[in-house]
Amino acid sequence: MARSRTGQSSSVPPNRREIEQTRTEAEDAQEFESLFGDSLRAWDAGIDPPPPHLLELEKLVVQHREETGRKLWRELSRLWLIGLLVIGVLFGLLQWNVLAFAVVQVAAIAAAAVFLFLTRKNKEAERRWTN
Amino acid sequence: MILNETEASTAIRLAVRGDEKALASLLQANYTVLYRYMLKVTMNKSLAEDLVQETMLKAIERIGTFRAKAKFSTWLISIGTRLYMDEMRRKGRERKWRTDEQALQAIRFEAAMSQEEWPRALDALADLPPDTRVPILLKYYYGYSYEEIAQWLDIPLGTVKSRLHNGLNRLRKELNEDGEKPNGTEQQRTAE
């Protein structure tokens, strides 16, 4: 189903640049329609995959939810276990040597800062498409 | 199974609350729309089928977050788009965006079974890199806004517009080189 939204505010009159931009967008849309519209619609009409049976889909929903729930509990348990382990080690360290405890804390914070910086940089690189 | 507006609205309300039957009916009702979209976007039948499956699984996981501000099919298309783009990034295919020729041949063959010929125009569309083909289809065939496309592709608005502009230029050039003529007829766009 075709959808058209211009998103233009009606309270402020459009300036010449906006009018030209809208006209160009409309021309582009018209051009695409004339070049590809019929071909795409004809192709669409020929694509008629048999949809899955309703019971199959219900089963999929139930099974996937159960699987997701199990996975979540597994990961939560792992997180708690690791957390308890880390807290236990740090507590032991604190009891043994306060200075060593402080050094470990500072090192952990520095490592976390470096990690955050590096992962943010990687995410930006992943988002950029190469042409 | 086709749901009218009232049935769809009721099904959505129930599905968000956890009703499995309602969610299953929504997925079934929108399966064809989703499949057609993924096939056009991927130009690869087996990839399209995998992504349709993944999209439905993602929808099952996230149905609780669906706010019904847009149509359910739009929500599925947004999920499918993100999954496809993630797939492209993960496999590093932005550097090798050439459509799998065998996969395209399979699509041409199937299309030929129902149409008289496979239009050259669709080959030109298949030749576009995914990061251009996707916004072009979303904007000019499905009628989504620049803002929606930018959000789904996680790119700035200006980038959406420049990709649309460059993509159209490229399509125009490719079709003109092949001597393809536009049909010149104005018709109502019916994407869903």
Residue A47, helix vs strand vs coil: coil
Query: Would residue A26 count as lying in a domain?
Result: yes
Residue type, B153: L
Domains of chain B: 5-91 (1.10.1740.10), 117-190 (1.10.10.10)
pLDDT at B131: 92
Cβ neighbours of B154 in A, within 8 Å: 127
Distance, in Å, from the CA atom of A60 to the CA atom of A64, rounded to the nearest integer, reads 6
Report pLDDT digits (tens) over A101-122: 999 999 999 999 999 998 886 5
Q: How close is the nearest chain A Cα to the Cα of B142, in Å?
A: 6
Structure confidence at residue A70 as a pLDDT band (50, 70, 90): very high
Distance, in Å, from the CA atom of B163 to the CA atom of B159, rounded to the nearest integer, reads 6
Kindly state the tokens that stand for A4. 């058209």
Say whether residue A30 is in contact with chain B using an 8 A CB cutoff: yes
pLDDT at B190: 41
Residue where the block lists tokens 């160009």? A24
Give the A:B interface size as CB pairs under 8 Å. 136
State the alpha helices, DSSP H only, in chain B. Answer: 5-16, 20-29, 31-42, 45-62, 72-90, 101-114, 120-127, 130-136, 146-153, 157-177
Above 90 in pLDDT, residue B2?
no
pLDDT at A47: 86
With CA atoms as reference, report the closest residue to A57 among B148, B146, B34, B105.
Answer: B34
Q: Do A40 and B184 touch (CB under 8 A)?
A: no
Report pLDDT digits (tens) over B13-46: 999 999 999 999 999 999 999 999 999 999 999 9
Beta carbons of B50 and B84 less than 8 angstroms apart: no
pLDDT at B90: 82
Query: Would residue A5 count as lying in a domain?
Result: no
Query: Would residue A85 count as lying in a domain?
Result: no
Report pLDDT digits (tens) over B143-155: 999 999 999 999 9
pLDDT at A75: 96
Cβ neighbours of A4 in B, within 8 Å: 143
For residue A37, give its domain range. 10-47
Q: Please state which of the ranges A14-18, A106-110, B86-90 shows the lowest mean pLDDT.
A: A14-18
Closest CB to A126 among B89, B114, B168? B89
Higher pLDDT, residue A130 or B111: B111
Structure confidence at residue B102 as a pLDDT band (50, 70, 90): confident
Query: Would residue A62 count as lying in a domain?
Result: no
Q: Which of residues 44-83 of B touch A (CB under 8 A)?
A: 56-57, 60-61
Average pLDDT for A123-127: 53
pLDDT at B5: 81
Distance, in Å, from the CA atom of A97 to the CA atom of A111, rounded to the nearest integer, reads 21
pLDDT at B106: 83
pLDDT at B50: 95
Question: Chain-wide mean pLDDT for chain A?
Answer: 83
Beta carbons of A57 and B24 less than 8 angstroms apart: yes
Question: Chain-wide mean pLDDT for chain B?
Answer: 85
Query: Would residue A14 count as lying in a domain?
Result: yes
Average pLDDT for A117-129: 63
Above 70 in pLDDT, residue B185?
no
Q: Which of residues 96-115 of A touch B (CB under 8 A)?
A: none
Q: Please state which of the ranges A32-46, B69-83, B87-101, B109-123 shows the lowest mean pLDDT.
A: B87-101
Please tell me the total count of domains within chain A.
2
Query: Would residue A125 count as lying in a domain?
Result: yes
Say whether residue A61 is in contact with chain B using an 8 A CB cutoff: yes
With CA atoms as reference, report the closest residue to A25 among B49, B64, B139.
Answer: B139
Kindly state the tokens that stand for A93. 């360290």
Higher pLDDT, residue A83 or A16: A83
With CA atoms as reference, report the closest residue to B76 among B97, B53, B102.
Answer: B53
Question: B8: exposed, middle or buried (C-beta count within 10 Å: 0-12, 13-18, 19+)?
Answer: buried
pLDDT at B183: 46
Q: Do A57 and B24 touch (CB under 8 A)?
A: yes
Cβ neighbours of A57 in B, within 8 Å: 23-25, 27-28, 56
Question: B138: exposed, middle or buried (C-beta count within 10 Å: 0-12, 13-18, 19+)?
Answer: buried
pTM of the model: 0.76
pLDDT at B16: 92
Q: Do A2 and B113 touch (CB under 8 A)?
A: no
Above 90 in pLDDT, residue A33?
yes
Q: Do B185 and A38 touch (CB under 8 A)?
A: yes
Q: How close is the nearest chain B Cα to the Cα of A118, in Å?
A: 18
For chain B, state the CA radius of gyration: 18
Question: B144: exposed, middle or buried (C-beta count within 10 Å: 0-12, 13-18, 19+)?
Answer: buried
Q: How would you label B95-130 residue by residue, b for 16+ Cβ within 10 Å and e otherwise? A: eebebeeebbeebeebbeeeeeebbebbbbbbbbbb
Q: Which residue, among A31, A32, A54, would best test binding to B if mutated, counting the most B CBs under 10 Å from its CB?
A: A32
